Amino acid sequence: MGSRGLRLSLACCLLLAFACGLVLGRVPHGQQEQQEQEGTREPPMDHAERDEEEHEKYGPRQDEEAPASRCLRCCDPGTPVYQAIPVPQINITILKGEKGDRGDRGLQGKYGKTGSMGARGHTGPKGQKGSMGAPGDRCKNHYAAFSVGRKKPLHSNDYYQTVIFDTEFVNLYSHFNMFTGKFYCYVPGIYFFSLNVHTWNQKETYLHIMKNAEEVVILYAQVSDRSIMQSQSLMLELRDQDEVWVRLFKGERENAIFSDEFDTYITFSGYLVKPANEP
C-alpha cells in the first residue's frame, strides 16, 4: 500500500509539470508572427552600407538625366541641413507715397437731436450810440399850435383877399404856412381858433374865418368915428389836411383893417385841444 501510493503521487506530479510546461511555453498569435518575421529579417547594416543602398534606390540611373530637384524627408538619413533664411524686414516709411488729391465732399449727415438750452452768457459791452433816425410822420405828433401877426394894414379891392401874416410868434412843427397864410391840419382833432383885429375909423371891418372853402364865422365892425379892437373865436373839429385861414371881404363896401410897423394889431392863433385818436 505504501509503495503504490508513492507511485501515484509521482505520476500526478509528472502530469502537473507537463501541463504547466505547455501553458508557459505557448506564445500569442500576434507575438508569434512578429518573432517569425524577426527570425527571417536580415541582419542590420552599418551606416555606409545604408547610404549606398539609398543612393542606388533613389539616385538616377546611368541612362537617365538627374532630376532638377527632388523631395527629401527630414527623417531620412543624410538629409542636408539648410541654414534658416531670416525674414526680410521692410521699412514701411520709405514706401509711403505722395499725398493724393482731395476727394469729393460726402453727403450731409442727419441732424442730431436738439440739445438742452445752455446757460445765459455774460452781459456784453455797451454799444456805440446809433445815428439819428428819419423824421416821423406828422400825424404821429399829438401837439399842434400856432400864433401869428400882421404889421401892415390891408384894404379891400374887387376880389376876396387871403390875409397874409408877416410875424411868427409860435408855429409848432410848422403847421401854419406863412407863405399861403393857412393852417394845415396834420393831427386830426378838436381845435380852438382866435382872431383879433384893429378897425379903421370911418371904414367898415368885414372878415371871415374859413374852413377849406367854407365861411365858418364872421368878424364884423360898423363904420365908426373911432377905431377899436375887435375879436372872434371858435372851436372846430378838423380832419387830416383840412385848412383854416382868414379872408377879407371884397370891395362892394369899403372895408379895411389897421396896423403899423411899430405895433402888431392883427393876430391869428390856434391850438389842438383834443386829438381824434384819444378815447
Kindly report, residue by residue over 43-58, the tens digit of the pLDDT: 555 555 666 666 565 5
**Which burial class, exposed, middle or buried, applies to 259 when counting CB atoms under 10 A from its CB (0-12, 13-18, 19+)?**
buried
What would the pLDDT profile of 5-15 be if each residue is shown by its tens digit? 666 676 666 66
For residues 139 and 144, give the distance between their C-alpha atoms in angstroms, rounded to a whole number.
Answer: 10
Q: What is the pLDDT of residue 144?
A: 94
Q: Which residues pair with 150 in a beta bridge?
A: 266
Beta bridge partners of 9: none
Max mean pLDDT among 28-37, 42-51, 148-157 falls in 148-157
Asked whether residue 210 carries a pLDDT value surpassing 50, the answer given is yes
Domain locations in the chain as residue ranges: 145-274
Grid cell for residue 50: 545604408
What integer pLDDT is reported at residue 185 of this predicted model? Answer: 95
Distance CA 88, CA 182 (A): 111
CB atoms within 10 A of CB 200: 21
Strands 243-248 and 205-211: antiparallel
pLDDT digits (tens, 9 = 90+) for 169-183: 999 999 999 999 999
Q: 3-state DSSP call for residue 60?
A: coil
User: What is the Cα Rg of the chain in Å?
Assistant: 73
Window from 92-106, 146-160, 192-206 with minimum mean pLDDT: 92-106
Identify the pLDDT of residue 115: 83
At 273 the pLDDT is 95
User: Nearest CA to 269 among 150, 144, 146, 143?
Assistant: 146
Name the residue with cell 501515484. Answer: 8
Residue closest to 219 by CA, chosen among 178, 257, 181, 271: 257
In this prediction, residue 70 carries a pLDDT of 63
Model-level pTM?
0.50
CATH topology of domain 145-274: Jelly Rolls (2.60.120)
Question: Cα–Cα distance between 161 and 139 in angstroms, integer?
Answer: 30
DSSP 70: -
What's the pLDDT at 27? 47
Q: Which residue has the higher pLDDT, 232 or 61?
A: 232
111-138 mean pLDDT: 81
The torsion defined by the Cα of 239, 247, 208 and 200, in degrees rounded to 10, comes to 150
pLDDT band at 279 (very low <50, low <70, confident <90, very high): confident
Q: What pLDDT does residue 174 have? A: 92
CA distance 112 to 262: 86
Let me know: does 270 contact 172? Beta carbons within 8 Å: no
The b-or-e profile of 172-197 (16+ CB within 10 A means b, else e) is eeebbeeeebbbbbbbbbebebebbb
